[in-house]
Chains A and B, each alone.
Chain A
C-alpha cells in the first residue's frame, strides 16, 4: 500500500505546478511564449519604429538611443545598425541614423499595423485601455499584409488610432494631426484632448488612471513650471509638466460644448429626470452603438425608474422603454436640466 498522505500532498504539489505553468501572463507557458518572440525580425522592426519616431520629432537618432530604446547592449545595437544598413533600410551613420525611403515605408507599415490593432482592441473587444499598447506591440510583428487589410476593411478603414495618432494608409501615407501641447494653453482657454502619447508606458498608465482620454474637453486653470492645473469635465486635475507634455490638445471657442456643468446620469436619484447631453468618448464601439440603439442621444429625456437590490444596475425610462444600465455605463452618459422629484409635482 502507498502512503495516502504523501500521495495527497504530492497531488496538491502537481496541481499547484500545473496552475503555475498555465497562469495567464505570469506563468511558465506565457513566459516561454514571450521569450520566443525576441527574434531578429522584431529587433529590426522595433529599431525602425524608433528611428522613425526620432525623425518625426526632429531628434537625432544614435547608436546609444537605439540601444536604450530596445534595451540591448551597445554591441548588439552596432550589429543591428550594420544589419539594417545591409538590408538598405537606413542611410549609413552611427551618430545620426537616417531611414532610407524603403526603411521609411517599412516603418510606416509596422506603425500602421500597431495603430490599426489598437483601434480594433478599443472598438471591438473589452481589453482594458492600459493593455492596448502592449498587445499591439506584439501583434505588429505577426500580422500579414492580407490580415492587416482585412482588419482595416472590417473597421471601415479608420484614420486615427484610439490615442489620436493618424494611421498610415496602405500605400504608406500619413496625415499630420494638428494640435498643441497641453502645456502651451493659457489659463482660461478651452480645449479638446486630441492625442495622448502612449510611450513611455508608465506615464501613459498614469494618464489613463487620471481618467483622461481623447475627446475629453478641458479648461486650463493654471500653467507653470511646477504644475499644470485644469478642469476636465467636473473634476480638477493636476499634472506635472513632464506628464502634461504627453498630451496634445486642440483649442475650441464654443463654451457650451464644455460638459463641466453637466451631471452624470449615474448621479441622478430615483424619480429624477434629465436630458441627455452626450455620451462620453470613453464609451466606444459596440457599447456605444448599443446605447444609441436604445435612443440615448442628445435631447432624449431619461428618468430614473428603479434600483435593483444591489443598487447596481439601475433602470431608466428611455423613450418609453425601461432599460437597466450598469453604473459603469450610466456614468459615461452626461445629462442636463435634471429636475428633482419635488419640483416635478
Chain B
C-alpha cells in the first residue's frame, strides 16, 4: 500500500470512530424502536382484524384456576400422576405382547434357523443371544411406554397447560438458579432422560439450559421404575409386616422419585453457584393461548420425533452392548469368564459400599438402556454364584415370571436388605444411559459437560451408598 492509501485508511477509521462517539451507545435501541414504530404504521394500514379477540370468558377463568394458590399445585400433581399411571398401566399389555413375540417366538425361531444352516456356536451366541436379544429387549420394554407417554405429554403441551406449569413453578426453580421450564424437561425426563435432554431446547437461556441438561438424570426415567418396583417389593416389602408390605414398598419407590426431584433442585442450585456462575442467563417465557390440541399431528410428531428417534438411538447402542454382554459371559481365561474375573475383582470395593460386583458389571455393560439392567443382573448372578437349573445360559439375559423366583436367585447370590436399598439409590444416582449421554453431547456439543453429567451422579451415588452402608452396618450389624 502506498503512503497516500494508508493515510486515507487512517482518516476513514478516525472519522468512523468520531461518528461512533457522536451517535452514542443507544443507537441500537433507537434503531429497534424505529423499526417497531414503522412496523406498527404498516400493520395499521394493511392488516384487517376480524372482530375483536379479547382474553376473557373461559380462558381467563381457566387461567385463574390453573394459577390459583389453592388449586394450582394439586391440579399439577393430579395431571402428572394420571399421565404416569396411564403410561405404566397402559404399557403392560403391549410390552408383554412384544416380549412374547420377540423373546418367546422369534428368538427360538432364529436359534433353530442358525442350527439349520449350521452357524458356528460362537457366531450364533454373539448374533442371536447377544445382539438380537439386547435389541429385542430394548424394543419390548421401551417402545410401549414411550408411545403412550410422549403423545399424552405433547397433547398437554399443545393445549397450553404445560407452559402454565412452567409459569407456576418458575419461582421455585428460580431459587435453585434454574428456569421454570425445567419443571417440564424434568417431567419429560420421568418418561425418558434422552427425550428430557432434547426437550431442554425450549429453554433459551444458555446457563439454565445447561443446568436442566445436567440435572435431567435425577428424574427417575421409565427404564428405572421397574427396577425400583421389583427391588422394593422383594427387599423393602419383605422387611416389614406382610399387611403393610405393599404400601411401604410403593412408598419407597415414590420416596426415591421425590428424592430425585429434591436432588435435581439442590444440584441445580450448586451448579448455578459454582461452575455455571458466569454463564449468560436470560429469562423469557411465552404463554400461548389455550387451543384445542391437534390430535393427529401430535400423534405423528411425538411418535416420529420423540419415540422413534430415542428408540433408534437406544438400538444403535443396544446391539454392540448385547455383543459385549454375551462375550463377557463366554470368553474365559484360565477357566474363569471375563464376567467372573471382573466381579471377583470389584467385589471388595462394591461390597464395602453396600453393593456387589455383579451390580457394578451390570451397570457398565447394560449402559444402552436401564431396562436391561435387571435381566443382566439375573444372568450374571446365576453365572457367578453357580446356581443350577435357572437362567438361559452364560451371556443370555432373562427375566423371571414371579418376584419370589427373582428373590430366590438374588438371595442365593448373597443379596441383603442393604444391597436392595443401595441398588435403589444407585439406580437413581448413576451415569445416564448411553443414549442420554450421546444426546447430551449432541445438544451441548461439549465433551466437558457430557463428562460432568456422567460423573456427577455416579460420584454422588458412590458416596451416598457408602454412607448408607456404614450407617446400616452400625445399626443392624
A and B held together in a complex: yes
**Chain A residues near B (Cβ < 8 Å):** 4-5, 7-8, 11, 15, 24, 121, 124-127, 159-160, 169, 175, 279, 285-287, 290, 292, 294-295, 297-300, 305-313, 315, 317, 321-326, 329
**Chain B residues near A (Cβ < 8 Å):** 17, 20-21, 25, 29, 32-33, 36-37, 55, 63-64, 67-69, 72-73, 167-168, 170-172, 174, 180, 204, 207, 273-274, 277-289, 463, 466-467, 470-471, 473-474
In the complex, which of the residues B37, B274, B281, B470 contacts A7, with contact meaning CB atoms closer than 8 Å?
B470
A5 in contact with B278 (CB, 8 Å): no
B282 in contact with A308 (CB, 8 Å): no
Chain A's closest residue to B36 (CB) is A297
State in angstroms the CA–CA spacing of A315 and B283 once bound together.
Answer: 13
Q: Given A306-B63, A310-B170, A8 and B287 touching (CB < 8 A)? A: no
A172–chain B nearest beta-carbon distance, Å: 13
- B474 proximity list for chain A (CB < 8 A): 4-5, 8
Chain B's closest residue to A135 (CB) is B278
A323 in contact with B55 (CB, 8 Å): no
Q: Given A294-B284, A309-B67, A324-B286, A4 and B277 touching (CB < 8 A)? A: no
- B280 proximity list for chain A (CB < 8 A): 124-126, 285-286
- A285 proximity list for chain B (CB < 8 A): 280
- B273 proximity list for chain A (CB < 8 A): 24
- B471 proximity list for chain A (CB < 8 A): 8
A-B contact pairs, 23 of them (CB 8 A): A7-B470, A8-B470, A125-B280, A126-B277, A159-B17, A160-B25, A175-B21, A297-B33, A299-B36, A308-B67, A309-B67, A309-B171, A310-B172, A312-B170, A317-B55, A322-B286, A323-B285, A324-B180, A324-B284, A324-B286, A326-B174, A326-B283, A329-B283
- B285 proximity list for chain A (CB < 8 A): 313, 323-324
- A329 proximity list for chain B (CB < 8 A): 283
Number of A-B contacts (CB under 8 A): 117
B33 in contact with A299 (CB, 8 Å): yes
B25 in contact with A290 (CB, 8 Å): no
> Which one of B73, B167, B180 has the highest number of Cβ atoms from chain A below 10 Å of its Cβ?
B167
> Which one of A279, A325, A326 has the highest number of Cβ atoms from chain B below 10 Å of its Cβ?
A326
- A326 proximity list for chain B (CB < 8 A): 170, 174, 283
- B29 proximity list for chain A (CB < 8 A): 279, 292, 297
- A305 proximity list for chain B (CB < 8 A): 55, 287
- B25 proximity list for chain A (CB < 8 A): 159-160
Chain B's closest residue to A169 (CB) is B17
> Which one of A24, A294, A295, A313 has the highest number of Cβ atoms from chain B below 10 Å of its Cβ?
A313
Q: Given A4-B473, A290-B284, A295-B36, A126 and B55 touching (CB < 8 A)? A: no
State in angstroms the CA–CA spacing of A313 and B368 once bound together.
Answer: 39
Chain A's closest residue to B171 (CB) is A310
State in angstroms the CA–CA spacing of A80 and B66 once bound together.
Answer: 68
Q: Given A11-B467, A310-B172, A321-B286, A127 and B278 touching (CB < 8 A)? A: yes
In the complex, which of the residues A127, A292, A309 contacts B68, with contact meaning CB atoms closer than 8 Å?
A309
A290 in contact with B282 (CB, 8 Å): yes
State in angstroms the CA–CA spacing of A311 and B21 once bound together.
Answer: 43
- B463 proximity list for chain A (CB < 8 A): 15
In the complex, which of the residues A5, A290, A315 contacts B167, with contact meaning CB atoms closer than 8 Å?
A315
Chain B's closest residue to A314 (CB) is B167
- B32 proximity list for chain A (CB < 8 A): 292, 297
State in angstroms the CA–CA spacing of A93 and B280 once bound together.
Answer: 47
A159 in contact with B21 (CB, 8 Å): yes
A286 in contact with B282 (CB, 8 Å): yes
In the complex, which of the residues A8, A159, A306 contacts B20, with contact meaning CB atoms closer than 8 Å?
A159
Q: Given A160-B25, A290-B284, A313-B180, A11 and B470 touching (CB < 8 A)? A: yes
- A125 proximity list for chain B (CB < 8 A): 278-280
Chain A's closest residue to B206 (CB) is A286
Question: Apart from A8-B471, A300-B36, A309-B171, what are 9 other A-B pairs with CB-CB below 8 Å?
Answer: A5-B474, A8-B474, A126-B278, A299-B36, A309-B68, A322-B287, A322-B288, A323-B287, A325-B283
